[in-house]
């Protein structure tokens, strides 16, 4: 089992690259089934910075025309959520009257999804769907529907494949979990 050290904390391999790719293949197939024959060009909303790697892999597998818009929200400090979501960078494009697919790296409490949907409605999105690479079902307590979930995971702190610990570890191709041994 491979270990990495980031800012004095040790993480061990949790989900391998091949498993991540298979999960992305499966989620992309579901999105393709829903949008392949759509007359509208949907907008994929990349939630920065964590979703970059997931978004890149997902887009390669989508078989329909799409546009990309980004937004940056923040709610984490170190290894824990602050519970407060703040917009660090606004939308990079117009979504008024558009179908938007939010592309998230991870959904845990759901606070970010609730805030994102509020923002998108404020900017006039016609339809909003949510696609997340990872979901922590044991702590997700919101009523917001998650349309596409690649992998459910336990409530543990993870890094890699876009997810960070104090901005480090995003470039790791596997997903690692905090090694508490």
| CATH code for the domain in which residue 23 is found | 3.40.50.2020
Q: Is residue 112 part of a domain?
A: yes
CB 141 within 8 A of CB 109: yes
Q: Does 1 fall in a domain?
A: no
Q: Which of 25, 34, 105, 108 is catalytic?
A: 108
In sequence order, what are the beta bridge partners of 167? none
Phi, psi of 151 (to 5 degrees): -145, 120
Q: Is 22 left (phi over 0), alpha (psi -120 to 50) or beta?
A: alpha
pTM as predicted: 0.92
Asked if residue 99 belongs to a domain, the reply is yes
The answer to the question of residue 101 being in a domain is: yes
In a domain, 171, yes or no: no
Tell me the two tokens of residue 53: 């790697």
pLDDT at 119: 92
Q: Specify the pLDDT at position 90.
A: 75
Asked whether residue 21 is assigned to any structural domain, the reply reads yes
Contact 114, 95 (CB under 8 A): no
How far is residue 98's CA from residue 101's CA, in Å, rounded to a whole number? 10
Burial class (CB in 10 A: 0-12, 13-18, 19+), 124: exposed
Q: Is 108 a catalytic residue?
A: yes
pLDDT at 161: 98
Q: What is the domain extent for residue 90?
A: 17-164
Low-confidence residues of the chain: pLDDT under 50: none
46 inside domain: yes
The answer as to whether 10 is a domain residue is no
Output the average pLDDT for the chain: 92
Total domains in the fold of the chain: 1
Residue written as token pair 């995971």: 153
Share of the chain above pLDDT 70, in %: 94
DSSP string, 24-59: HHHHHHHHHHHHTT-SS--EEEEEETTTHHHHHHHH
């Amino acid at each position: 089992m491979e270990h990495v050290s980031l800012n004095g904390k040790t993480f061990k391999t949790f989900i391998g690259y091949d498993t991540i790719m298979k999960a992305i293949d499966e989620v992309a197939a579901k999105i393709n089934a829903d949008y392949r024959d759509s007359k509208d060009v949907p907008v994929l909303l990349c939630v920065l910075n964590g979703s970059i790697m997931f978004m890149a892999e997902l887009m390669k597998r989508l078989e329909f025309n799409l546009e990309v818009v980004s937004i940056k929200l923040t709610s984490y400090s170190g290894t824990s959520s602050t519970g407060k979501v703040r917009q660090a960078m606004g939308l990079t494009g117009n979504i008024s009257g558009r179908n938007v697919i939010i592309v998230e790296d991870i959904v845990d409490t759901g606070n970010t999804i609730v805030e994102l949907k509020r923002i998108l409605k404020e900017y006039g999105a016609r339809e909003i769907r949510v696609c997340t690479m990872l979901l922590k079902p044991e702590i997700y307590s919101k009523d917001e529907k998650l349309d596409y979930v690649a992998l459910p995971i336990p409530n543990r702190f993870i890094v890699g494949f876009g997810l960070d610990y104090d901005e480090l570890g995003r470039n790791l191709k596997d997903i690692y979990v905090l090694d508490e041994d």
